[in-house]
């Protein structure tokens, strides 16, 4: 082999090995936290995340109903804040890595301050604890798990 072919042969070999490695070892599934600690005024809730996925057998999308082009699910609070207030208005843009997410609430991707009438209608977007209570309990009511009047301290620490 002529000497001048050696570098190109090496480069091609490295590329082939990298391609083969990518094929044999695809990127792993996104990390799933084992437990999620949710501190709140009703008493801390420890949500057994992996038990719900692996033992009870739910799909990510059963709860993370909005994955929109993200590599990993977003915290619920990115879209279900405690209040749609001044603080949310100023900071929420940073919760999202792409503009596709903006269209979940906005008609167009906003580029600056919005007039009153161009602000999204938040009537059908539950606030933080309502979003959790609704999702946790409507599934529990159907599939088993704590819900209803006397269930509070199955989830909340006293």
Q: Which residues, 5 to 34, sit near ligand HEC by CB under 6 A? A: 30-33
Per-residue string for binding with ligand HEC, 101-140, x by CB under 6 A? xx-xxx--xx-xxx----xx-x-xxx-xx-xxxxxxx-xx
7 or 112: whose CB is closer to ligand HEC?
A: 112
What residues between 40 and 69 interact with ligand HEC by CB under 6 A?
40-42, 45, 47-49, 51-53, 56, 58, 60, 62-66, 68
Pick the closest to residue 70 from 49, 100, 44 (CA basis): 100
- Residues in Cβ contact with 141 at an 8 Å cutoff, skipping those fewer than 6 apart: 147, 148
First to last CA, the chain: 77
- Residues in Cβ contact with 65 at an 8 Å cutoff, skipping those fewer than 6 apart: none
Closest CB 64 distance from ligand HEC, rounded Å: 5
Q: Is 156 an interacting residue with respect to ligand HEC (CB under 6 A)?
A: yes
d(CA 115, CA 102): 17
What residues between 77 and 96 interact with ligand HEC by CB under 6 A?
77-80, 84, 89, 92-93, 96
């Amino acid at each position: 082999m002529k000497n001048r072919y050696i570098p190109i042969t090496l480069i091609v070999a490295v590329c082939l090995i990298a391609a083969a490695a990518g094929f044999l070892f695809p990127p792993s599934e996104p990390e799933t936290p084992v437990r999620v600690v949710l501190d709140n005024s009703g008493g801390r809730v420890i949500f057994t995340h992996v038990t719900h996925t692996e033992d009870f057998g739910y799909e990510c999308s059963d709860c993370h109903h909005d994955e929109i082009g993200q590599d990993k699910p977003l915290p619920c609070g990115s879209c279900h804040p405690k209040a749609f207030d001044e603080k949310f208005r100023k900071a929420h843009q940073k919760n999202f890595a792409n503009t596709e997410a903006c269209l979940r609430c906005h008609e167009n991707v906003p580029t600056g301050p919005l007039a009153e009438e161009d602000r999204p209608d938040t009537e059908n977007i539950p606030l933080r604890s309502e979003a959790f209570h609704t999702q946790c309990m409507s599934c529990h009511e159907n599939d088993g798990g704590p819900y209803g009047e006397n269930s509070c301290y199955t989830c909340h620490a006293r």
